[in-house]
Amino acid sequence: MTRTDLLALTPETLASLANRGLVKRAEKDLAAGSGPVVATGDDGTVRGAFPDGTEAALPVGLALDAADCSCAAPGVCRHRIALVLAYQRSAPSMPGGTQGAEEPFTDWSPAEFDDEALAMALGRPAVTAARRTRDRGYTARVHRPTAADPAPRVELPTCTVRFPVPHELGYALSDAAAPLRGEVVTLAVWAFRAADAEHSDEVTVGGRTTAPAGADEALRAAVALADELLLDGVQQADPVFTGSLRRTEQALTAVSHHWPAGAVAELRDQLEAYAARASRYTPERLALLLAELHARHRGADRDPVGVLGTAEAPVTPLRRVRLVALGCRIGGTARDRTAETYFAHADAGIALVLRKRWELTGDQAPTGHELSTRRLLGSPLHALATANVVSEHTARAADRTVVLSRGRIAATSITPVGSAWTELPDRLLLRDTAAHLRAAGERAPRLIRARVEADSVRVIAVDTVDGIGYDPAGQRLEAVLRDPVGNPVHLRAEYNPLCPGGLDALAAALTDEVRCVSGMLGRDHGRIVLDPLAVLTPQGVTVPDLAPGDGDTRLTTIRPRPSDPITTALESALTALADAAHHGLRHLTGTSRTALADTATHLRRTGLHTAARLQDELIRSLHTQGATAAVRHWVAAQIHLTTSLDLHQEDAP
């Protein structure tokens, strides 16, 4: 009797079930002749007798951690791993241990497991806990098996679950901490059931028919504050108003409305930035946030979990994880500096972000390069941003930020990244960017999209680099990367005044033998674009935001790409709406009113008649009914124009 479940356990899967050190130790024992004598019973149980007297047994239907071993080690030990490897080498279907990759592809779905099977394999308490989460509702993205990636997996809001062995629950893997494993595996199976029933990859599972007490009140309070700000403008927003925003944010979080809570928090940050005259405040961002709160309120009835945010626990503790750093982005104001370090979580197939904020005192104004020597998790920031990080005390938030527990730094190891980028799975390391974007499918409109950090961060394998040049008007470095199949990827890096040497370092790295570039991947005017984080060359990883220099290198200039008429008309109209929000509809200047009228005419001449009509209705309402009545017309115009511009920029040639 051949155990196909054991044959399907690759060294990578075994490392996920235990750790890489145990797998290497077991492989070394086998190579030295210290492996077990393998015997298979009539019932399929695989037994191994080791030279040191240890005996292990792998019964059918039990995972490795539940198997028998006479050694004293808790959990999955090297003897059980060595027995699996020895069985694979001796099994008829794997002579010499070389045919594991030749196992036929199995197209299957974890939806095949019913609740009774889940309870037997994972325990009834785990299924009961999962039911409580399902009652609240949760979102999930399923990835069905393919020949290139045969293990089905599910991205839950705060962790990822994989099923590496076909038709076996016991070997399901998750990056969640061990006490949560049974619950998240159950949630993943239910997500596959919903996805198979709906013939979809992104699903919302469960959810109460009625919202939690106070949920609607909290959302209405957020919208009311947005309207008050729209009427009075940012100059009238005092500390009392920002305090109201903070309390509303807390109320939204309490009822698990995480995405509106995030919008309110960012709105409060915009007001604080304006009060501090910080550069991160922009009227356009303010207007977008005001419209987002209205859009989420309107879309809540259709998809409350997806539009308002997951009802999962905001933070999920993870078990031992290995993260690969992909670079760093520096930001900040006159009062602070922030560092966002991005990581690839290879086992989960996603990117995560670790945030650090430093308060500034006196006349401090550190650049990104000066921040690069500050220590984080016991290492300089520049080392962390180019490292492999293995941690046993990590938590992942629903927005894919990483949280590390204080006082447990010793459980985190940091080593140079080496060649880890080139060893990432295909869902993170892209060799065909166009195929990846096609497979990603259509996303929800930006205003109601999940507020997930690092969702677009990928590593692009680079074949050649062409057309490196600097656009002085846009203060932007541009280049054309070509992936291994020839797709052009347009790299665009904006000048960051906090990192004056960044563009110089990026340009120098791009003239080297580029292997990979990490960054935020997307589309603009129908073209594939990448906002870079770091560059991998034979000399190592270059992180532009942490690079030295004063930005005095002479860069080859290029002619800026002209904007198309539709983009110009939409952007002009949005600028006029943002200016109105900045001043407040009750305090519009003559210039602001003229800009609204002029942009309506521009929209009409460009053929955007619906947008022009919405702008006209706003102007007419301001004249005849007053500012309060004009709020709903401003919101309608802002939502329509924002969505139109997003769709046009993604699809336009």
Binned average pLDDT, 10 residues per bin, the chain of 653 residues: 74 78 87 89 89 89 80 83 89 49 77 93 91 85 88 88 88 84 94 93 75 74 96 92 93 87 93 84 95 93 77 69 93 87 88 92 91 90 92 80 61 83 92 86 80 89 93 90 95 94 95 95 86 95 95 80 85 96 94 95 95 96 94 97 87 55
Q: Which amino acid is at 357?
A: R
Six token digits for residue 561: 């790409």
Contact assessment for residue 576 and residue 599, using Cβ atoms and an 8 Å cutoff:
yes
Looking at the DSSP assignment, which residues form a beta bridge with residue 480?
A: 466, 490
Instruction: Round to whole Å and give the CA distance between 488 and 472.
Output: 23
Instruction: Round to whole Å and give the CA distance between 534 and 563.
Output: 28
Which is it for strands 375-376 and 429-430: parallel, antiparallel or unpaired? unpaired
For residue 101, what pLDDT is reported? Answer: 42
Q: Which amino acid is at 361?
A: T
Contact assessment for residue 472 and residue 559, using Cβ atoms and an 8 Å cutoff:
no
For residue 2, what pLDDT is reported? Answer: 62
Beginning with the edge strand found earlier in the chain, give each strand of the sheet holding 173-174 in spatial order: 173-174, 160-162, 153-155, 138-143, 202-205
For residue 96, what pLDDT is reported? Answer: 44
Nearest to 403 by CA among 339, 476, 478, 352: 352
Looking at the DSSP assignment, which residues form a beta bridge with residue 609?
A: none
For residue 482, what pLDDT is reported? Answer: 95
Instruction: Round to whole Å and give the CA distance between 572 and 592.
Output: 12
For residue 454, what pLDDT is reported? Answer: 87
Which pTM does this prediction carry? 0.76
**Burial 639-653, CB ≥16 within 10 A → b, else e:** bbbbbbbbebbbeee
